Amino acid sequence: MSNTFSYTEKTWEEFWAEFWRIKLLANDDAAIIKCEQVVDVCFHVLQMEPGMTLLDLGCGAGMQANLFAERGIEAHGIDLSPTLVKYAQDQASDRGLKTTFAAGDMRDFTVDEPYDRVTVLGMSFGFGTDEENEQTLHNIWDATKAGGKILLTGQHPYTISAHLGPEWMELEDGFLLHRGDFDPISCRLGGPWQLVCPDGTVVLEGENPEADGIRCYSVPELRKLLTDIGFTNVEFYGTWFLPPSELQWFSMELILSADKPK
Ligand SMILES: C[S@@+](CC[C@H](N)C(=O)[O-])C[C@H]1O[C@@H](n2cnc3c(N)ncnc32)[C@H](O)[C@@H]1O
């Protein structure tokens, strides 16, 4: 069988952004409903009010940032992927929203004016090395107003088994294979993503910002990291339902909120 795999023309960033975050998620009803739940919980936990400013780091296709804007928040999204930033900005324009987006790296950014609220959604905290993740938290501190609040989501360390082993997904012309793996020494959940042609040839192995997996921080680790920087009232939640429920050992999400004191 000849290799006519269309995705080989694309970089991993383009493939991942276009296929996963835009084609699959941004147009999936269940994903859209979940984004609305996420925004509901953020409004509640972060005591948000129209007119507040919000920075969403690792904003992906801008689904939540644009929903925040629809509810009167001055939202700005940052993501590593220029493809996603362009998609998110186009969405905002099409919907007449004032959301702004920029390509950027949460491990290395500064802001002109600190924000009332800062979020990292979609289990996006922890893709860097331990040092980079700690730097990200310092950057978030600097990007948050005194008296402001943050909400971060990461990979729950006790539910990693749900992500282990081979997982196939059929594409238009081939398959996506993820061989989920966990390294107990570095506490990282990862494993390679591969695009596989119908004849079985592996044509592209993922080299994306998430290629080294995600650090699965425990609650005590996160609490210490945040309080060492100066954050207070560090609270943990396990679902995107209201009222926010306590984090359990079996929760599929690890959500934390914290305050930057006045
Ligand atoms: C799991 S997705 C979540 C996207 C979005 N927050 C959501 O919930 O739909 C992670 C996103 O973080 C971005 N990302 C990963 N590392 C990043 C970094 N260092 N700085 C900024 N964005 C990053 C990726 O490009 C991707 O869009």
The three state secondary structure string of the chain is: CCCCCHHHHCCHHHHHHHHHHHHHHCCCHHHHHHHHHHHHHHHHHCCCCCCCEEEEECCCCCHHHHHHHHCCCEEEEEECCHHHHHHHHHHHHHCCCCCEEEECECCECCCCCCEEEEEEEEEEECCCCHHHHHHHHHHHHHHEEEEEEEEEEECCHHHHHHHCEEEEEEECCEEEEEEEEEECCCCEEECCEEEECCCCCEEEECCCCCCCCEECCCHHHHHHHHHHHCCEEEEEECCCCCCCCECCCCCCCEEEEEECCC
Q: Is the CB of 209 under 6 A from ligand 1?
A: yes
* CA gap 106, 79 in Å, rounded: 8
**From the CA of 145, how far away is ligand 1's center (Å)?**
23
pLDDT value of residue 145: 98
Q: Is the CB of 222 under 6 A from ligand 1?
A: no
User: Could you report the per-residue pLDDT of 194-249, keeping only the tens digit for each?
Assistant: 878 777 777 666 555 566 789 999 999 999 999 999 999 999 999 999 998 999 99
Q: Which atom of ligand 1 is closest in space to residue 81's alpha carbon?
A: 25
Q: Is the CB of 58 under 6 A from ligand 1?
A: yes
Q: Is the CB of 123 under 6 A from ligand 1?
A: yes
**From the CA of 80, how far away is ligand 1's center (Å)?**
7
pLDDT value of residue 197: 79
Q: Which residue has the higher pLDDT, 173 or 114?
A: 114
Q: Which atom of ligand 1 is closest in space to residue 122's alpha carbon?
A: 8
**From the CA of 232, how far away is ligand 1's center (Å)?**
25
User: Could you report the per-residue pLDDT of 120-149, keeping only the tens digit for each?
Assistant: 999 889 999 999 999 999 999 999 999 999
Q: Which residue has the higher pLDDT, 167 or 99?
A: 99
Residue 2 predicted with pLDDT over 50:
no
Q: How confident is the model at residue 3 (pLDDT cuts 50, 70, 90)?
A: very low
209 in Cβ contact with 80 (< 8 Å): yes
Q: What is the CATH number of domain 13-158+215-259?
A: 3.40.50.150
User: Could you report the per-residue pLDDT of 58-93, keeping only the tens digit for each?
Assistant: 999 999 999 999 999 999 999 998 989 999 999 999
What are the residue boundaries of the structural domains of the chain, listed by start? Answer: 6-10+159-205, 13-158+215-259
> Best of 66, 118, 124 to mutate for ligand 1, by most ligand atoms within 8 A of CB?
124
